[in-house]
């Protein structure tokens, strides 16, 4: 009898399901979008994951973008080990917080002060509170399909098109928590302008993923971010870049440097700590000084600035500073992968949309261009499900959802990229052979 290559993962999931809701500690880890049981990882090294059944995978998740240099990066691991011997948490200031803050401020444009927190969700919800406190206004604008963590005010369903009535997207979120969250369409300045016209003196901030990564990788259209900057300045609202995915990934200075657009506040996630639980929000001094203990906007956290995360982050940013060719190199890898994937789809005459920005990339089984949440939803999730499991069997770990960006690490080799391209050809050829024709959007010609 043929051994199940995921047997140990399957058994672990059955145990986890009896102790942890849904068997996972974050819904994105579940395989709900693709079917089956999640893979349980035993270790990661460089570009590779090793699961509980000793299967090896080329990793295109990289802790959802946090691992720019791949798993178990030597200088980060060494710094964590050394710090752990001295203590893991004090709840008292350390010099390492100052060192990482200096590296952060020097790297990120238009930033004078930074507050470290413990997650991207904490960073975004704190930035919103700060924006409201600074402006004295209550309403915020977010974009349909952009995810900013699980704070109540962000969990809003958009329905179709523009809506000014927030509808909770999760049980347990009261109507009042989202009543001041206004929804606009990503890449539509008209939808944002309309909201400002309706509420000219009530909007505290616009928060946006400069590159959307939670409806797949979706780039801002030409002039979109610049237009947001102009509207925010015109109506005296703050522009918040949620850089939990793009920060230190698109460029040393993040999306502000990459797109040359100035934000008033920026939020970052675990990439700041080399993959450890950490986040940050930052901006000009006159805004950031509204935070307690200087100002009236309260934000606190016992583990904020914990020494393990600070030591790892210092090594992460020092390596970025030292490696001048880093972003050119990883961009080249992404471009190589994109061209290789396109050539396979063209060879097999399968229509697909591939989006990429920097080291973020995703594919949509859709013949149309994907520019926002509505067009992303037009992609065929059924075909992606088959593709995902096929690639998993070929040793390629992709995000287990058609609406998540892939992230490349610098640890990927030419051989890894070539294997990914060839695996794609093998999987698609198998789907065609088995007459998998789930999507009307696809043009299967064989």
Q: What angle do CA 324, 328, 332 make, to 5 degrees?
A: 150
Q: Is 270 part of the annotated catalytic residue set?
A: yes
- Cβ–Cβ contacts within 10 Å for residue 436, how many? 18
Helix axes 307-322, 95-107, angle to 10 degrees: 40
Cis peptide bond N-terminal to 425, omega within 30: no
Q: Is 342 part of the annotated catalytic residue set?
A: no
Helix axes 414-433, 326-347, angle to 10 degrees: 20
- 150 exposure class (CB count in 10 Å sphere: 0-12, 13-18, 19+): middle
Kindly give the pairing relationship between strand 238-242 and strand 56-59.
Answer: unpaired
- Cβ–Cβ contacts within 10 Å for residue 288, how many? 21
Which residues touch 170 (CB under 8 Å, ≥6 apart)?
Answer: 150, 155
- Active-site option among 242, 264, 372, 380: 242
- Active-site option among 270, 327, 333, 410: 270
Q: What are phi and psi of 41, to 5 degrees?
A: -90, 140
**E strand residue ranges, 221-352:** 238-242, 265-268, 279-283
Bridge partners of 364?
Answer: 353
Q: Is 102 part of the annotated catalytic residue set?
A: no
User: CB-side exposure of 231: number of CA atoms within 13 Å?
Assistant: 26
Q: What angle do CA 272, 273, 278 make, to 5 degrees?
A: 85
Both tokens assigned to 46? 């460089």
Q: How many helices (H) and strands (E) does the chain have?
A: 15, 16
- Active-site option among 48, 60, 147, 373: 147
- Residues with catalytic function: 147, 242, 270
């Amino acid at each position: 009898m043929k051994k199940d290559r995921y047997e140990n993962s399957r058994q672990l999931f059955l145990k986890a399901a009896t102790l942890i809701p849904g068997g996972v500690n974050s819904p994105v880890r579940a395989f709900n979008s693709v079917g089956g049981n999640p893979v349980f990882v035993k270790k990661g090294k460089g570009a590779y994951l090793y699961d509980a059944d000793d299967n090896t995978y080329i990793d295109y998740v990289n802790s959802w973008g946090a691992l720019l240099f791949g798993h178990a990066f030597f200088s980060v691991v060494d710094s964590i080990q050394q710090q752990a011997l001295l203590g893991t948490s004090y709840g008292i200031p350390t010099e390492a917080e100052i060192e990482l803050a200096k590296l952060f401020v020097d790297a990120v444009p238009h930033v004078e002060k930074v507050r470290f927190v413990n997650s991207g969700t904490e960073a975004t919800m704190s930035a919103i509170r700060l924006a409201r406190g600074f402006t004295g206004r209550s309403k915020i604008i977010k974009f349909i399909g952009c995810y900013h963590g699980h704070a109540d005010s962000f969990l809003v369903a958009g329905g179709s098109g523009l809506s000014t009535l927030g509808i909770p997207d999760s049980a347990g979120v009261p109507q009042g928590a989202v009543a001041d969250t206004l929804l606009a369409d990503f890449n539509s300045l008209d939808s944002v302008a309309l909201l400002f016209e309706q509420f000219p003196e009530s909007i505290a901030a616009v928060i946006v993923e400069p590159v959307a990564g939670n409806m797949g990788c979706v780039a801002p259209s030409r002039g979109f971010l610049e237009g947001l900057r102009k509207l925010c300045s015109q109506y005296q609202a703050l522009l918040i870049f949620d850089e939990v995915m793009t920060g230190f990934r698109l460029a040393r200075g993040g999306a502000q440097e990459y797109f040359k657009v100035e934000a008033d506040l920026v939020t970052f996630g675990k990439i700041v700590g080399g993959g450890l639980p950490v986040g940050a929000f930052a901006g000009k001094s006159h805004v950031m000084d509204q935070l307690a203990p200087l100002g009236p906007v309260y934000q606190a956290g016992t583990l904020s600035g914990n020494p393990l995360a600070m030591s790892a982050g210092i090594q992460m940013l020092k390596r970025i500073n030292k490696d001048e060719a880093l972003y050119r190199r990883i961009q080249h890898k992404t471009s190589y992968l994109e061209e290789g994937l396109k050539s396979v789809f063209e060879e097999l005459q399968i229509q697909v949309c591939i989006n990429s920005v920097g080291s973020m990339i995703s594919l949509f089984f859709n013949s149309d261009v994907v520019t926002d949440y509505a067009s992303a939803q037009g992609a065929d999730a059924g075909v992606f499900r088959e593709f995902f499991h096929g690639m998993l069997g070929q040793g390629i770990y992709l995000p287990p959802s058609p609406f998540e960006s892939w992230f490349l690490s610098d640890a990927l080799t030419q051989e890894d990229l070539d294997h990914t391209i060839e695996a794609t050809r093998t999987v698609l050829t198998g789907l065609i052979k088995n007459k998998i024709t789930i999507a009307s959007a696809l043009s299967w010609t064989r």
